[in-house]
Amino acid sequence: MRIGEVARRAGVSVKAVRYYESLGLVRAARLPNGYREYDDAHVHRIREIRTLGELGITAERTRPFLDCLDAGGSSGDDCPASLDTYREAIADMTDRIARLSTRRDLLAERLAAATARAVPTPRCELVPEESR
């Protein structure tokens, strides 16, 4: 099948397929006319990359899952290296959530302080300097 068909069946754009190829994650055969030729294994591989991306695992970090498929795994997470990647992704998300929670709390504190200082005026968009 051609690139448009593999993209459609895998649920990604043609641009995404080309990006995955540029990273060396997908390698299509070339026909004599230079066109890429894909098969069902490519569809499965690209779906794996897409699904992992939806979980927050970047395309660059999908190699352990793809290596697992290449080794004969029915799923990309049948191998220990894939499980390690899951653990790393969870740790990264936990860290990002903690940092976002801290930022949210700081914003809420600033809002509360600013609200307490604000002098209500009918048409004022800014709090006057002398009111601060």
Q: Which of 33, 44, 61, 57 is closest to 9 using CA atoms?
A: 44
All domains in the chain, ordered by first residue: 3-118 (1.10.1660.10)
Buried b / exposed e across 49-87, counting CB within 10 Å, b at 16+?
A: bbebeeeebebeebbbbbebbeeeeeebbebeebeebee
Strands (E), the chain: 29-30, 36-37
With 0-12 CB in 10 A as exposed, 13-18 as middle and 19+ as buried, what is 19? middle
pLDDT digits (tens, 9 = 90+) for 97-126: 999 999 999 999 999 999 888 766 666 566
pLDDT digits (tens, 9 = 90+) for 90-100: 999 999 999 99
Predicted TM-score (pTM) of this structure: 0.77
Q: What average pLDDT does the structure give for the chain? A: 91
